[in-house]
Amino acid sequence: MPGRSRPIHLAVALALLMAVAMESAVQAQPKQAPETRQQITLSFAPIVRQSVASVVNVYGARVEKQPRNPFMDDPFFRRFFGDRGFGVPQERVQRSLGSGVVVDASGLVVTNNHVIEGMSEVKVAFADKREVEATILLRDPRTDLAVLKLKGVKDLAAIELADSDKVEIGDLVLAIGNPFGVGQTVTQGIVSALARTQIGVGDAQSFIQTDAAINPGNSGGALVDMQGRVVGINTAIFSRSGGSIGIGFAIPSAMVRVVVESARAGATTVRRPWFGARLQALTNDVADGLGLDRPAGSVVASVVEKGPAAEAGLRRSDVILAIDGLGVDDPEAFGYRFATRPLNGTAGLTVLRGGKRLTLPVKLIPAPETRPRDAVVLAGRSPLTGLTVMNLSPAVSEELSIDAATEGVAVSEIEEGSVAARVGFQKGDIIQALNGERMATSRDIENATKERKRAWEVTISRAGQTVTSVFPG
């Protein structure tokens, strides 16, 4: 019997060697992106490897001087404290942290505007710890997107922008970014919903909702599909605690592409099609009266004379149901769809009028600059000190998202900490009158605020409402 044990031991050893060889062969095979339900259970690592080099951390900073201490001129305090905190204005560095995505090998990076808003210095850090300085090519507050240009780099790993119109609810997605500054992080989830509007971020949006964990610091990062392509830029979360509760929102890649192409063309602002009409949401009562089974669509409230909508034949009270065959449930959804149409072509509007459906072709042209902006920074002793105001035109109205039919002078910027900021002026306000006198140009306001008044009566239009307030001189 002992003589027979040797072949058995050899057989066992041979079997073990074969098993080890088979395992080594499996491990040696390159991983592929999962394509079937069975493969999904393996790993997302191939997709991450493909995408992670294109997702960066974005750091913004600016130096702020603290206000002069009122005690600094008192000899008593200077005797005991000297200049420490009293004689020399203190400086404070304000920082921001977010993520970004390399979308062009030449060094173009997309991030959120709120990540770099107000920042004078911007740096980008790659997953391999390299840090590169960046300049801000373009900011677009309307979409909360910005485009950066990296200095001294080339041949970067750029990520492809997918067609977000082909994304479906239930699609698997990965969110890549730098949450809470802990370092590059990948989370997995699905597309929970599409065409989410009225989120409060931008005014030409239709967000992709996902349950992939998104936290502060993820802003500007990539939401990628199972082919490693960007379907959206992560930008906001719904949270009561400040952390992820599984409701995050991403800007669709269709809108990202519009902003990136404007930056590539050398534009400092995003050029979008101008519609030339003001829309309102369709209510249940109106929908019932029109014979619609649900309140999905936008009612035309007013049409700008000689604008694209007017030339297309659109009328007040028309109901817009779709654009190029894609349904639009509300004015925000229409604004997103229209803004992503390519310039210099036409778009087909499906319109309900008098119980009949019509298709109206509207030209896709940029808003015209019908008169010089003539931007003026207001000084002097008035509640408007710190405002930058400019003349209205269709182009200015489009950029500031205000009604082009409103008369007055637009507020385009507000100096932080200024009198106007403390009083409560907002970007996009339209100043219509000062002390009862109509204001037609930016110079009218400049001249009016040079005078000293005991009181200032200011009439503005904000979000379609006219308000008159009185402030002390």
- The residue range of the domain holding 346 is 277-363
The confidence score (pLDDT) of residue 239 equals 56
- Quick count: other Cβ atoms within 10 Å of Cβ 141? 16
Pair (71, 129) in one structural domain? yes
The confidence score (pLDDT) of residue 7 equals 47
Pair (438, 353) in one structural domain? no
Residue 98, domain CATH:
2.40.10.10
The confidence score (pLDDT) of residue 204 equals 58
The confidence score (pLDDT) of residue 12 equals 43
Q: Tell me the residue type at 142.
A: R
Domain boundary at 233, 264, 295, which? 264
Is the distance from CB of 98 to CB of 219 less than 8 angstroms?
Answer: yes
Exposed e or buried b per residue across 367-382, where buried means at least 16 C-beta atoms within 10 angstroms of its C-beta: beeeeebeebebeeeb
Pair (106, 177) in one structural domain? no
Residue 438 in any domain: the answer is yes
Residue 455 in any domain: the answer is yes
Pair (313, 239) in one structural domain? no
End-to-end alpha carbon distance in the chain:
114
Residue 6 in any domain: the answer is no
Domain boundary at 235, 264, 293, which? 264
SS3 of 278-309: the string is EEEECCHHHHHHCCCCCCCCEEEEEECCCCHH
Q: What pTM value is reported for the model?
A: 0.74
Residue 298, domain CATH:
2.30.42.10
Counting as low any pLDDT under 70, the low residues of the chain are 1-42, 63-94, 198-204, 237-245
SS3 of 386-421: the string is CEEEEECCHHHHHHHCCCCCCCCEEEEEECCCCHHH
CA gap 463, 456 in Å, rounded = 22
The confidence score (pLDDT) of residue 13 equals 47
The confidence score (pLDDT) of residue 93 equals 65
Pair (244, 324) in one structural domain? no
Residue 38 in any domain: the answer is no
Pair (57, 146) in one structural domain? yes
CA gap 140, 181 in Å, rounded = 24
- 48-49-54 Cα angle (round to 5): 85
Active-site residue list: 114, 144, 219
Q: What is the DSSP letter of 197?
A: -
- Residue 197, Cα to own-chain centre: how many angstroms? 13
pLDDT digits (tens, 9 = 90+) for 17-66: 554 444 444 444 554 556 666 665 667 888 888 888 899 999 888 766 55
Pair (187, 101) in one structural domain? no
Q: How many domains does the chain have?
A: 4
The confidence score (pLDDT) of residue 3 equals 39
Residue 10 in any domain: the answer is no
Domain boundary at 238, 264, 290, which? 264
Mean pLDDT of the chain: 82
CA gap 31, 36 in Å, rounded = 14
Pair (198, 176) in one structural domain? yes
Pair (257, 317) in one structural domain? no
Is the distance from CB of 53 to CB of 126 less than 8 angstroms?
Answer: yes
Residue 7 in any domain: the answer is no
**Which residues is 413 bridged to in the sheet?**
388
- 269-425-277 Cα angle (round to 5): 50
Write out the binding residues for substrate. 114, 144, 217-219
Pair (359, 380) in one structural domain? no
Pair (312, 397) in one structural domain? no
- Quick count: other Cβ atoms within 10 Å of Cβ 159? 23
Write out the binding residues. 114, 144, 217-219
Q: In a 3-state reduction of DSSP, which class is residue 77? A: helix
Pair (357, 397) in one structural domain? no
The confidence score (pLDDT) of residue 39 equals 60
Is the distance from CB of 222 to CB of 54 less than 8 angstroms?
Answer: yes
Residue 159 in any domain: the answer is no
What are 28's two structure tokens? 């040696």
